Structure 1
């Protein structure tokens, strides 16, 4: 009996041209300045496919960080001058932040790019890890590394729109909570893009 690849619907959609997303998607009243300069960043969307049902690896940022303390994020960061491409950025950051060996990573393609309110043009790199993985969180930056079932994140019904005050105005955003983890903002939007690519379920 042939076992279906759980990533098959996403992989089938990778070749299609898709518009990127933005932290401003749900806030149409915001006017973005033309010609704005964004900084390139890459994040890894690692799907762990060993030891049971596939799970997406996420991190909880340290509460001591100046920017985005305690938030849920993908391993990743801004592109450095020494990175040959954005995939190299995502792999380098994943190795630094959670101890993921690039040799154990099968990169599969890019999810739609995402613009953040902090001025980053984020390219999510979808990847598969088919070997056992024991995370080693980077001290001072990563408080916790955890896994979320892929099935949970591909169910569009799990996503909801919420709002909070940001710089004096209400900001609407996607959230996809899982247990004690409040996954929201850019991370949730990137995951929703992936769920939309996988189709209704």
Structure 2
């Protein structure tokens, strides 16, 4: 016989947390034009033979891999793979570059070896100040590549290096990251809709 679940006393904390996440998402409505511009940059890149290159640290590394997988695999519909990769996945490259050149070089050096004309570099950093993402953006600029920054409020050092900056108007890392994945999913949906002629 199933026993009733006992209340843990956490119900109010759960509701408070969800309420703060909802506020972060609602506040991000002001980013609609920036999200649209980011989607257009990605669509143009893919149409012209480019690829989307993601990078980030920690939870943002996981989100970078997540979004690259949505494009290479499938998101909402079955379709051909869309070229995308995350610079966070090759542990041998990351540790070799980090050991030999410093951790701030782990993305920029990979970009110099992998990036090609029409690629877009998509960097995720809640502070906007992650040294390796900032250096990746500087390298992208030197290579003539477009950059999309997904950050928290203000954009930090990534702000002047971003062709499109999507700066979530919030200050807590966890809630910023929750909006980041929603924004990333939305951009993936727009890419699919445009390139595969379906509705997101």
Per residue, is there more strand in 1 or in 2? 1
Per residue, is there more helix in 1 or in 2? 2
| Category of TM-score, reference length = shorter chain | under 0.3
Query: Larger Rg: 1 or 2?
Result: 2
Structure number with the bigger relative contact order (C-alpha 8 A, sep ≥ 6) is: 1
Return the TM-score normalized by structure 1: 0.25
